[in-house]
Amino acid sequence: MAKPNPKAELLQGTLDLLILKALQRGPIHGFGISLEIRQMSQDMLRVEQGSLYPALYRLEEQGWIAAEWGVSDNNRKARFYSLTPAGRRQLTIETANWEQVAAAINLVLKVT
């Protein structure tokens, strides 16, 4: 099966934003996060596991997300991540940042 290549490279520093966004709707585990990002981006963005887990641990250490052991759909013990209040604030800030940057880049690109 031909694997659909990610159409867009993840921009440096955007992974954190995506993870926070993916967690906005409720606690999910690591695999769920990568799935969520894929679905939300309509298969355009794929998160490398090699970056996902270090990023998760980093965010946890910063206090933006919290991890808890729970039981997954298939009845296995799994680690569920959820947004903390600080994480929620951070999501707002980073979203705003991103929109500004994106708008600015768009402006630049539109110059002919």
Q: Where on the chain is the footprint of other proteins (CB under 8 A)?
A: 1, 29-31, 35, 48-50, 53-54, 57-58, 61, 69, 72, 74, 76-79
What is the torsional sign of CA 100, 96, 83, 37?
Answer: negative
DSSP string over 35-63: HHHHHHTTTS----HHHHHHHHHHHHHHT
Q: Which is nearer to other proteins, 75 or 106 (CB)?
A: 75
Q: Which is nearer to other proteins, 1 or 107 (CB)?
A: 1
Q: Which is nearer to other proteins, 21 or 29 (CB)?
A: 29
